[in-house]
Chain A
């Protein structure tokens, strides 16, 4: 391990400051005791956190987002697990085409997905519905679940499964008792990454969501384009804290660096 010089460490400190500055800024502003945007110079106040409770539209949007992310991440995993086992462990014609197709949303800008769903749903009468939003999110996040499931299913040893089959276990028992536990870290990591991706998504949802099905990022976006006030800072602070908690879990589970390699 080569030692780092003082210039490298200075650069590192500046870089970290650059990364953290806007987040700390949001947190600082949210504790202001003034009625307008300002840094809390004379005393901290929780008034803008209490103000969230008086704005049920943010709370409603939060629950829409949580519910949407829970259900869509679960559906994405249900689609991704069998597909990943087939793609990683079997040879069949069209295998690569199917894999590329199921991963293709990663290459499509969210804006393009958004306008495509906007038109499609208004044609088939699903415009602004929760189910439309849900289906759109499943399409968007399935590649994330699939990629992590594929990574765990590739190179999985078959001996234990063969032994169980020989000893008379049913196919389903083998899956439940042997295969699934072996790929579980990838599946769980994929579920959590899908959940966060769905929860944070703005660009596509802004086209698909109606006022009744606004997700939290969409609600916040519309608020910011109207006015930037301490309320939006306190909502953001709550999000930062929640995300930080999820991040620690994800890092324990899987390693943040592994999750993000090649994302995008």
Chain B
């Protein structure tokens, strides 16, 4: 193969994907963006005008402030809890002797393959009015009053931590695998305490893993639909369930499209700025 004008093969090889993606991803995404620039009338439907009124409504209305505030508050809280329990668990997993390590890695990661609907259902069974939580509470002598975490912020937080913590574990696990165990041994030999080694040697080296796990968990919580819809219901709306209602109940598609565009932009800004941060601060760790 000589380097003539331009080798066409790579373009032919990527063409099926590129053409398919332009037609079925590029076009629909562009249409959604354009739709968000139309206004909506409850009697006559989508108007042919061009306006940014939907964005002004979403960004200015206290109702949407509350929903966006709740969503990002939830995402932050879930991320913090996932760091607090996911990082130690990854560390424990990495230090388990081998048959157990593989078994528990499977136990921790396996649920990622099980439908989110099923995992959320498990928590709904715990949280429901006549559920196990009530049984435990009355068993401990807290009275017969039903304890319910359904339709609460706490309930959503617990269920989302459960759904997303495996991403944190796997991400930290991956960076633990890259650590040279000799660096820890060296510090111990030189007289550092175990705690010092953990803070000064191990933790800085897994920082990229913690950050990338955090970004995955944050982004997935901010756009989560199934768990907030089942556990939070109509009383605890988040961005995704609010957009769902605009599309399928209120039928105000342009407003729903504006919510979707904002969610997408926030998501991309977070991911891209994170990547920039990691490239700058942790360039050495990735060598």
Do the beta carbons of A98 and B230 come within 8 Å of each other? no
The answer on a CB contact under 8 Å between B88 and A115 is no
**A117 near B28: Cβ-Cβ < 8 Å:** yes
Q: Does A172 contact B (CB under 8 A)?
A: no
A26 proximal to B (CB < 8 A): yes
The answer to whether B122 and A115 have CB atoms under 8 Å apart is no
Interface of B is mostly: helix
Among B90-109, those with CB < 8 Å from A are 91-93, 95-97, 104-109
Measured between C-beta atoms, what is the minimum distance from B287 to chain A in Å? 18
Contacts of A19 in B (CB 8 A): 107-108, 111, 162, 165-166
A141 beta carbon closer than 8 Å to chain B: no
CA distance A16 to B96 in the complex (A): 14
State A200–B104 Cα separation when bound (angstroms): 23
Which residues does chain B contribute within 8 Å of A199, judged by CB atoms? Answer: 115
Given contacts A107-B268, A120-B31, A260-B170, contact A221 B226 (CB under 8 A): yes
- Is there a chain A Cβ closer than 8 Å to B70's Cβ? no
Which residue of chain A has the shortest Cβ distance to B241 in the bound complex? Answer: A111
On whether the beta carbons of B110 and A244 are closer than 8 Å, the reply is yes
Q: A92-B10, A101-B21, A202-B226 are in contact. Are A112 and B118 (CB under 8 A)?
A: no
Asked if B122 contacts A22 (CB within 8 A), the reply is: yes
A228 at the interface (CB under 8 A from B): yes
Q: Interface code A206-230, partner B: CB below 8 Å = 1, 0 otherwise?
A: 1100000000110011001100100
For B234-265 the 0/1 string (1 means CB < 8 A from A) is 00000010011001100001001100110110
In the complex, the answer to whether B115 meets A217 with C-beta atoms within 8 Å is yes
- Number of A residues with CB within 8 Å of any CB on chain B: 90
Which residues of chain B come closer than 8 Å to A12, judged between CB atoms? 89, 92-93, 96, 104
Number of residues in B with C-beta < 8 Å to the partner? 91
Chain A residues whose C-beta falls within 8 Å of the C-beta of B253 in the assembled complex = 115, 119
Indicate if A53 sits at the interface (CB-CB under 8 A).
Answer: no
**Most chain A CB inside 10 Å of its own CB: which residue of B18, B117, B222:** B117
Contacting B88 at CB < 8 Å: which of A11, A23, A107?
A11
Of A1-9, A42-50, A177-185, the one touching chain B: A1-9
Among A146, A251, A261, point to the contact of B106 (Cβ < 8 A). A251
Q: Which residues of A contact B124 (CB under 8 A)?
A: 224, 228
B212 within 8 A of partner (CB):
yes
Complexed CA–CA distance, A99 and B92 (Å): 36
Q: How far is the CB of B224 from chain A (nearest CB, A)?
A: 8
The residues in B between 1 and 39 inclusive whose CB is less than 8 angstroms from any CB of A are 6-7, 9-11, 13-14, 16-18, 20-21, 24-25, 27-29, 31-32, 35
Q: Is the CB of B122 within 8 A of A21?
A: yes
Say yes or no: is A155 at the interface (Cβ < 8 Å to chain B): no
Question: In the complex, what's the smallest C-beta–C-beta distance from B213 to chain A, in angstroms?
Answer: 9
Min CB distance A64 to B, Å, is 14
Segment of B49-57, B58-66, B126-134, B138-146 engaged in the interface with chain A: B126-134
B106 pairs with A139, CB closer than 8 A: no
Bound: A174/B45 CA distance, A: 58
- Complex alpha-carbon distance, A229 and B13, angstroms: 50
The answer to whether A66 has its CB under 8 Å from any CB of chain B is: no
| Residue ID in chain A nearest B213 by CB atoms | A264
Whether a CB of chain B sits under 8 angstroms from the CB of A170 is: no
Q: Are A21 and B268 in contact (CB under 8 A)?
A: no
A51 to B28, CA, bound (A): 40
B112 interface residue (CB < 8 Å to A): yes
A95 CB within 8 Å of chain B? yes
Closest to B248 in A: A207
Query: Whole-angstrom distance between the alpha carbons of A220 and B121 in the complex?
Result: 10
Which of A85, A203, A239 is in CB contact (< 8 Å) with B225? A203
Q: Is B132 within 8 A of A200, CB to CB?
A: no
B85 at the interface (CB under 8 A from A): yes
Whether, in the assembled complex, B283 has its beta carbon less than 8 Å from a beta carbon of chain A, the answer is no
Apart from A79-B16, A236-B118: 20 A-B pairs, beta carbons within 8 A:
A2-B95, A8-B88, A8-B92, A15-B92, A23-B118, A24-B122, A25-B132, A83-B13, A95-B10, A107-B268, A115-B257, A138-B24, A206-B244, A216-B115, A217-B117, A224-B117, A225-B229, A236-B117, A247-B110, A260-B112
- Minimum-distance CB pairs A-B, first 4: A22-B122, A109-B223, A120-B28, A86-B13
- Chain B residues in contact with chain A, CB under 8 A? 6-7, 9-11, 13-14, 16-18, 20-21, 24-25, 27-29, 31-32, 35, 85, 88-89, 91-93, 95-97, 104-119, 121-126, 128, 130-132, 159, 162, 165-167, 170-171, 173-174, 184, 194, 212, 216, 219-220, 222-223, 225-226, 229-230, 240, 243-244, 247-248, 253, 256-257, 260-261, 263-264, 267-268, 271
